[in-house]
Amino acid sequence: MKNRLKTFFSLLIIAILCIISVVCLTACLDTNTKTDRESDTETNPICETLMYGSGRYVSAALENDRTGGSFYNFDMKYHDLSAQIYMGGGFIEGNTEQVINKGEFGSEVTAIPYDGFEFIKWSDGLTTPSRKDESTYCFDVVDSARNHNVRYNGVYPLFAKQHTVYFRATSGGRIQGELIQTIATGKSSSELIAIADEGYIFMGWYLEDQYGLVYPGSFSNRITESNTLLYDPFEHGFPQTNSYLGQGYIVATFIEKRN
């Protein structure tokens, strides 16, 4: 009888120890799983509200109107020049604040430029004007305008201001290409080729001054000596407004050959 009781109590103790071990192991696994889950949530948070901010546009720092603009360096694509960024330039078509369920996609939004502007990209790098986003994608964007290191959950579309640029040739030659071009901030004109007439020599492309004059040989006003030009107004500068013709020109200049 004593042996049976001894055996019973031994088995009971073993059973209790087994139960305690299982409970401890389960708690440990649950803690690890919870930690992994929390870590995953921190790495890939769920944002159930998609926010799309108002449009902004990039303009050249050399323009006169600088009121309210923040200096902005546009990804090295714009010749590493400081440009300015302003509110405006376009708008968003669609619902700009969307509350959605976890794992679902929101409705499509599209960046629409105003007249005189051109869509560039969204502030998180997307280059298509239309987009549809999922709740697992959180907009955690830093506004990189200088002195405004503000972090917020949202993106905004970026637009470029467009400029009308005029080209002409002096006597003794002509230009092959479009003589009036619309060039957006950070882009270049289409190709222009200066062609000299017989008996003349091409001297270079120059910025015209406010009196409609050009100065062959001037280093300050000369853009390039090459007869082929891809004109970038933010690399070479704008011509002054011609007081007689009402606009400034980039001029292909020719002189007569000397015997």
Summarised one tens digit per residue, pLDDT across range 80-107 is 445 567 788 999 999 988 888 877 888 9
Least-confidence region, from 5-19, 33-47, 182-196:
33-47
Structure tokens at 42: 């921190």
Same domain? 96 vs 173: no
Structure tokens at 32: 């690890």
pLDDT at 78: 41
Whether the per-residue pLDDT at 50 is higher than 50: the answer is yes
Same domain? 251 vs 179: yes
Question: Which range marks the domain in which residue 154 is found?
Answer: 49-161
92 beta partners: 111
Whether the per-residue pLDDT at 230 is higher than 80: the answer is yes
Number of domains forming the structure of the chain: 2
- Amino acid found at 81: L
Domain boundary among 161, 181, 200: 161
Confidence band, pLDDT 50/70/90 cuts, at residue 5: low
Between CA 85 and CA 95, with CA 90 as vertex, the angle to 5 degrees is 115
Is residue 31 one of the residues assigned to a domain?
Answer: no
Same domain? 79 vs 65: yes
Mean per-residue pLDDT, 235-257: 86
Same domain? 136 vs 177: no
Domain boundary among 131, 161, 191: 161
